[in-house]
Amino acid sequence: MSTFSIFLVLITIVCFLLIIVIMVQNPKGGGLSSSLGGSTQMGGVQKTTDFLDKSTWTLATILIVLILLSSLSFSGSLSDSNSKIVDEKENIAPKNTTTTPAKPVETPKK
């Protein structure tokens, strides 16, 4: 299994977890925390909101790091091989050819 495939699997898992954490949250402050009831439950409403907020940011950070690392892994595998996207012969500037400008057209005088 290549390193890119490993990164792809990890990115997929983190995306799935991030979707679950975001879906549990309610944009109006309810979500999972509203179903827990009062502060007598485990941790209370505020603790659940803090946990979901921190887990969202943590998973988002992990996702960004995995994407950056996978892109470095992907570009590193291209630089090792001799394949190039742009042919080197096309990078050579064309030779300067001098052309004579066309003779301006004169308008007849009245």
pLDDT tens digits, residue range 21-63?
Answer: 988 887 765 555 555 554 444 555 667 778 888 999 999 999 9
User: CB within 8 A of 60, min separation 6: which ones?
Assistant: 18
Residue type, 90: E
Question: What count of Cα atoms within 13 Å lies in the side-chain half-sphere of residue 62?
Answer: 17
| Whole-model pTM over 0.75 | no
37 φψ region: left (φ > 0), alpha (ψ -120 to 50), beta (else)? left
The predicted pLDDT at position 30 comes to: 55
Q: Residue 12 — pLDDT band, cuts 50, 70, 90?
A: very high
3-state secondary structure of 101: coil
> Which DSSP symbol is given to 28?
T
Q: Residue 88 — pLDDT band, cuts 50, 70, 90?
A: low
What is the gyration radius of the CA atoms in the chain, in angstroms? 30
Domain boundaries, the chain: 1-24+48-74
Q: Read off the pLDDT of residues 59-77 as tens digits, 9 standing for 90 and up.
A: 999 999 999 998 887 765 5
Q: Residue 108 — pLDDT band, cuts 50, 70, 90?
A: confident
